[in-house]
Structure 1
């Protein structure tokens, strides 16, 4: 690393003032030049020039002929474009790795495709006895914890439409056999904020999932942890739920969701 990179970079005062103006406008519906000059501690003439430049670039609007300014949606548009390029797997991977180290159990990241879930990333369990799965593998929505969190916050009409052509095939004795039975459980899943597959997809295997939200507050993925019933304890279960909800919330916030 050269000497230039080792030197502390001095902040550019004009850039700092521009962002101070943006922050001030973000907190208030609108502000005048006089108010802004007091907030950023800069002369009114300088603040006016900043505002006119920001107005020309489309970041602020002037309210009629008034001396008041407000933000446009340009910043939101910029952030939205950046979020389109966010890689969900890259965001989730470190959290999944950490939970995997803590629990030694298998973790999956899944999304919906039709009436199935598709695993887009996984962390293998560190035990010999573990779930057999693969990235790109599919399972039904109605018999998986991920499937339940993907649909729990949707309307009944939406769920019925998604599963209209689905045959509810029993993988185990505990698998849902009808859409009405499945819908009844979705009400509980929504209330709790997590879903559980209690040996519905595979005998002897439990799975817990938490929802991941996008910037609009829509559930776009599920983060799950799977473990054999022989390793189940109530204490472990509660800990797993907390770990998943915490990680899913952090991933959601990185995707732009403010309510997770």
Structure 2
């Protein structure tokens, strides 16, 4: 059931909430949208869209571009979103490490966490090279074919992992994508055994990623950090060197989140 049909069966105040969040979601999916576009996408009258947008502008959550008469979200929405993080300090703790990793490798570094049955990028430091990537802060990506998704699932509890994967769509993005849950769970065992996750051109052509988890005080994986390489700059012989850099960064971030026994160290000594 879509928001519009749901709104039609609700009291007016509830319908207004549904319309408000529908507009926020639509603006988040496609920045700088016009009233006609929003009206068509949300099946709402233009006058209603206009009225709601004006209220959201007054509250500071939406801005209007003077030159194009299009609407977009403001940083106030981002500020609100950061407060929803389980660990609001996570990005601040990670960003200097991520910059260092980007400087040392010359490649793109991502920080991501779980949202529903996907990951969401919390922070990104771009490569010093010209490399267009799908990602941006706030964008979602799949669990089954990203290094961050794999490490979040590999170190998760079996119960929570089962719950999350029930909602995951094992879409075959590329020929190399693991598109079967049973095969994916075998991959997670390998990820945990080796101490890092890999994306072997499973999500984007010609891009490989290596990632590790970040842990909280209860040794739960609360985020993942990865480095992405275009295939022509990826050297398998340097993989362990890259993993060591990621592990060192994760160890410090995890410690600052209260983790006292870093799981990746324990697993490294057991192999």
State how far apart, in whole Å, the 1-side matches of 2:143 and 2:252 are: 24
1:136 corresponds to 2:127: no
Residue 13 of structure 1 corresponds to none
- Bigger Rg, which one: 1
Which runs of 5 or more structure 1 residues have no equivalent in the other structure? Answer: 1-83
1:36-185 equivalences under 5 Å are 87-185=89-187
Residue 47 of structure 1 corresponds to none
Q: Quote the RMSD (CA, aligned, Å).
A: 1.5
State how far apart, in whole Å, the 2-side matches of 1:256 and 1:163 are: 27
Residue 32 of structure 1 corresponds to none
Cα offsets for 1:59-91 (capped at 9, x unmatched): xxxxxxxxxxxxxxxxxxxxxxxxx87600000
Residue 249 of structure 1 corresponds to 251
148-157 vs 107-116, greater mean Cα deviation: 148-157
Q: CA deviation at 1:109?
A: 0.4
SS in 2 for 1:180: helix
Which runs of 5 or more structure 2 residues have no equivalent in the other structure? Answer: 1-85, 263-271
State how far apart, in whole Å, the 1-side matches of 2:138 and 2:125 are: 13
Q: CA deviation at 1:131?
A: 2.5
**Is the 8 Å Cα contact of residues 86 and 255 (structure 1) preserved in structure 2?**
no
State how far apart, in whole Å, the 2-side matches of 1:241 and 1:136 are: 25
Q: CA deviation at 1:225?
A: 0.4
Cα offsets for 1:123-142 (capped at 9, x unmatched): 00010134232000111101
Q: CA deviation at 1:166?
A: 2.7
**Is the 8 Å Cα contact of residues 107 and 226 (structure 1) preserved in structure 2?**
yes
Residue 224 of structure 1 corresponds to 226
SS in 1 for 2:166: coil
Residue 196 of structure 1 corresponds to 198
Q: CA deviation at 1:154?
A: 2.5
Q: TM-score, normalised by structure 2?
A: 0.63
State how far apart, in whole Å, the 1-side matches of 2:102 and 2:132 are: 13
**Is the 8 Å Cα contact of residues 193 and 211 (structure 1) preserved in structure 2?**
no
1:240 corresponds to 2:246: no
State how far apart, in whole Å, the 2-side matches of 1:102 and 1:153 are: 27
State how far apart, in whole Å, the 1-side matches of 2:92 and 2:99 are: 11
**Is the 8 Å Cα contact of residues 143 and 168 (structure 2) preserved in structure 1?**
no
State how far apart, in whole Å, the 2-side matches of 1:152 and 1:257 are: 18
Q: CA deviation at 1:161?
A: 2.1
State how far apart, in whole Å, the 2-side matches of 1:180 and 1:156 are: 14
Residue 259 of structure 1 corresponds to 261
Q: TM-score, normalised by structure 1?
A: 0.65
